[in-house]
Amino acid sequence: MAAKDFWNNQEKANKTIEEFKQLKSSVEPFNEVLHKFKDMFELIDIIEENDERTIKEFQAELGHIQTKIGELEFKRLLGGEHDRNNAILSINSGAGGTESCDWAKMLLRMYSRWAESKGFKTEVVDMLPGEEAGIKNATMMIKGSFAFGYLKSETGVHRLVRISPFDSNKRRHTSFASVDIIPEIEDNIEIEIKPSDLKVDVYRSSGPGGQSVNTTDSAVRITHIPTGIIAQCQNERSQLQNKQTAMKILRARLYEIKMEEEKKKQEERYGQKQDIAWGSQIRSYVFQPYTMVKDHRTDYETAKALNVMDGELDGFIEAYLKKKAQR
């Protein structure tokens, strides 16, 4: 970074700085804990047995160090090839009609609140509203260090049980929505995409218009014919920007499939997701007759369902990563 020609290539320089920040965020907390531990080790020899005040301070500092070590151990679980990357989150409503569309919207809010609590940036690049309420599907970019590493635990079917606000008889309903998480990949990773394999459609963005927003055919849908994968974006103002974002999502999805094929895990992953309906859920959110959120892969659960819907997902994420590390 001190080299004279460091800033000659702005894009490369920014990537180097970002890599430096990520490495620094791992090294500095470790050095801080190590330094404090050494200080406490030296303090043991000079503490007198009847010095209760110093002993209490010592115990409090030890507790602080244990917490920091726990955080470092948790970060150690995020050692996958793309765990540091930004995440592309997709949500699709499933069995349940209007109920499931509303549930999909609730999940989108939940992940937005979680990302906000982490200081991550979010951008909804595509959304299809439900006919009566909620959303049929949505795609959101979540930008922040380790965003994919944290959120990879969320891939699967999510089940909601509650008294429906859309049912005049106030009956209990079960709704489903699927969540898929893939990492945003670097442009320098080669994924062969032939122009002849692409079908590009442009259409008018959904949502309210005004000042040329959603009043022109700027939204872009790209279909990869060999795989049937569809990537679309309608968030940007220009057709070119929407096409660039859609291509980025398409490349990430094709890369994910390529990696899964190489590791022979594609069947396992999509077999786990199954249909967006009964018997395939990875997590259940129960609002009535009691409140509970339970992950069926780890058995981690909490009665604070409303807190979870406000983005408190770290307990579920940590339990998943620890169980995965034990395999």
Residues 108, 113: Cα–Cα separation, whole Å: 9
Instruction: State whether 30 and 178 are in the same domain.
Output: no
**268 falls within a domain:** no
Helix (H) or strand (E) holding 103: helix 98-117
**72 falls within a domain:** yes
- Token pair in block for residue 117: 């609590």
**1 falls within a domain:** no
Quote the pLDDT of residue 120.
94
Instruction: State whether 118 and 169 are in the same domain.
Output: yes
Question: For 40-44, 57-61, 225-229, which range has the lowest pLDDT when averaged over its residues?
Answer: 40-44
Question: For 97-111, 147-161, 210-224, which range has the lowest pLDDT when averaged over its residues?
Answer: 210-224
What CATH number has the domain bearing residue 303? 3.30.70.1660
Quote the pLDDT of residue 192.
81
**312 falls within a domain:** yes
pTM score: 0.72
Instruction: State whether 63 and 165 are in the same domain.
Output: no
Instruction: State whether 172 and 317 are in the same domain.
Output: yes
Three-class SS of residue 113?
helix
Place of tokens 């999940």: 107
How confident is residue 75, by pLDDT bands cut at 50, 70 and 90? confident
Instruction: State whether 131 and 183 are in the same domain.
Output: yes
Three-class SS of residue 50?
coil
The residue ranking higher by pLDDT, 75 or 187, is: 75
Label residues 103-140 b or e (16+ Cβ within 10 Å = b): bbbbbbebbbbbbeebebebebbbbbebeeebbbbbbb
Cα–Cα distances in Å, from 230 out to 98, 250, 322?
Answer: 23, 7, 33
Residues 6+ apart with CB under 8 A from 75: 26, 146
**38 falls within a domain:** yes
For residue 131, give the nearest of 175, 157, 99, 95 by alpha carbon: 99
pLDDT digits (tens, 9 = 90+) for 253-280: 888 888 777 665 444 544 444 455 555 7
Quote the pLDDT of residue 209.
44
**159 falls within a domain:** yes
| pLDDT for residue 12 is more than 60 | yes
Name beta bridge partners: 88.
141, 182
The separation between CA 181 and the C-alpha centre of its own chain, rounded to angstroms, equals 6
Instruction: State whether 289 and 241 are in the same domain.
Output: no
Three-class SS of residue 218?
coil
Domain count along the chain: 3
Instruction: State whether 211 and 309 are in the same domain.
Output: no
Which of 42-46, 124-128, 206-210 has the highest mean predicted lDDT (pLDDT)? Answer: 124-128
Place of tokens 């404090």: 36
Instruction: State whether 58 and 115 are in the same domain.
Output: no
Domain boundary among 57, 76, 95: 76
Domain boundary among 217, 239, 262: 262
Residue 247 lies in domain: 195-262
pLDDT digits (tens, 9 = 90+) for 215-234: 567 889 999 999 899 998 98
Helix orientation angle between 10-44 and 52-76, rounded to the nearest 10 degrees: 150
Residues 266, 261: Cα–Cα separation, whole Å: 6
Quote the pLDDT of residue 206.
66
